[in-house]
Structure 1
Amino acid sequence: MTTKDTNQTTDLNPIGMMRAKQVLELVPFGRASLWKFAKNGQFPAPIRVTGGITAWRNADVIAWLEAQSAANDAEV
């Protein structure tokens, strides 16, 4: 994770939600992978806000990013 990514994560308020476009700014994969990983449990599932709008809880994304960082640190 780059310094930019780390700063974006620490600036992210755990209270709130974000759409896929915002999530994609924080993760090292694309839109199709985001949905695939969310579907198979490798990434937090989005919440359906209204009929066609889904979003991710900031707290869930932060927890996932921190877990990935900790796993990478443990490998080193």
Structure 2
Amino acid sequence: MHPTLPDEGYVRIHKILEVIPIGKSSWWAGVKAGKFPQPVKLGPKTTAWKVEDIRKLIENLSRNIEG
């Protein structure tokens, strides 16, 4: 079964890394460099990303791979 994202809302990093196969430190480096979307703080210890931002990222990555 392929990992999937919810239709709307927010996703945590573990779910993103199921769909985009890179390491956690590489993900954070991409966020810091502006290559990946900025997170949203949902609480003092809770960081997540908007699903629509992650879907756009996947679409852009797919376009770059396809040429």
TM-score by length of 1: 0.78
Q: Note if 1:19 corresponds to 2:9.
A: no
Pairwise CA RMSD:
1.7
Deviation beyond 3 Å, 4+ runs, structure 1? none
Within 5 Å, which residues of 2 pair with 1:20-59? 20-59=13-52
Tell me which structure has the larger Cα radius of gyration.
1
Tell whether 2:56 aligns with 1:72: no
Ranges in structure 2 where 5+ consecutive residues have no aligned partner:
none
Q: CA offsets, 1:39-61, max 9 Å, x none?
A: 11111111111111100110000
Question: Which has a greater percent of helix?
Answer: 1
Q: How many residues align?
A: 67
Question: Quick one: percent identity of the two aligned structures?
Answer: 29
The TM-score normalised by the length of structure 2 is 0.88
Amino acid at match of 1:25: E
